Amino acid sequence: MANGKTLYIFPGQGSQYRGMGSDLVDSYTVAADIYARASDVVGYDMQLLSFEDPEQQLNKTRFTQPALLTHEYACLETFRSLAGVAVSPTLVAGHSLGEYTALVAAGALTFEAALALVSERGRLMSEHGRGSMLATTLDLQSGQALADKHFCGIGGCNLPDQTVIAGEDADLDRLAEDLKDSHAGKRAIRLNTEGAFHTFLMVRAAEEFREELEKVEFSPFSVDVLSNYTGKLHAPDAESIRSRLFFQLFNPVKWVSCMNFAIDSGVDTIVEFGGGIGRGDGPDGKRPNLESIVRKSLKWREYEAQYAAAINAATISAAVEQLS
């Protein structure tokens, strides 16, 4: 039973898959309503995109982001409909795109406002995106030195020994070769993205996205929200939220700092909502995207907290039983 401090977390791009949400819509009216609302906002059939992806658009950033936010929110609201107030968060956080779902969970944004916002965010990131990203097993200091040498940037700090580096393709190619020679035993995996997200190559997208942020109204938080940009709590005023989301686009995701803050605050339960990774289509057999990072973060800090996944109908039911 979760009776202490609970952290809700939401993953980012890379956790989308064809079929996500189909089991929720088949079983829960609340989820079906959310997908209908999403279609009204974005102007296309969110169920068709997410469940069947007939035109193979789901992995394109402009479609990935609204589809993933919709799935995360559907998982959250399905979970809430079953658990009631028995499992409520004291803190919420999201990885990159997931930060927007976290803001919805905290009451700072309506689902519709967040969906319209991330639709524009995804469009701009795709339109201005160039370069690519490389996930490495380097610590931040080593990763930063290598990035600086090859005119690249740090895109994310997921663990003390997992740093994402991003840049122009040619620069990143040279960096990858250098890494093999200069850091024996360290691994690097090229990520399937449409650009060097969360680096200086996203500045143009951020400049245009700022105009979209200015149009959005933010409400007071019902619970604390962690910021990717600072690795600390969001300030509650609207202008601060806007600036943090603006800077998030071209600065590294400080997930290590977010997890450290959560641990230092004494969370004893962590629940992950939405997305999924692993082979095969459809929800069955998918694994939570952030679970491995979360468990490694806890182990690194020698800290214990229970973890639950709420990423499809089966895991939501199991999580409610585990935590209620």
C-alpha pair distances (Å), 27 with each of 22, 30, 51, 66, 281: 9, 9, 14, 22, 18
Active site residue 324: no
- Residue located via tokens 């209620």: 324
CB-CB contact of 205 with 128 (8 Å)? yes
Instruction: Count the alpha carbons within 13 Å of 149 in the hemisphere toward its beta carbon.
Output: 14
Neighbours of 192 (CB within 10 A): 10
Residue among 198, 227, 234, 297 flagged as catalytic: 198
The sign one gets for the Cα dihedral 108, 245, 164, 57 is positive
Residue among 96, 119, 132, 227 flagged as catalytic: 96
Active site residue 128: no
- Give CB contacts under 8 A, 24+ apart, made by 171-177: 171/131, 172/131, 172/132, 172/133, 172/134, 172/196, 174/150, 175/134, 175/146, 175/147, 175/149, 175/150, 176/134
Report d(CA 208, CA 231) in Å as an integer: 24
The tokens describing 59, both together, are 């992995």
Q: What is the DSSP letter of 78?
A: H
CB-CB contact of 317 with 303 (8 Å)? no
In the β-sheet with 188-191, what is the strand arrangement from edge to edge?
A: 153-159, 162-167, 132-136, 188-191
The tokens describing 38, both together, are 């999403």
Q: Which residues are catalytic?
A: 96, 198
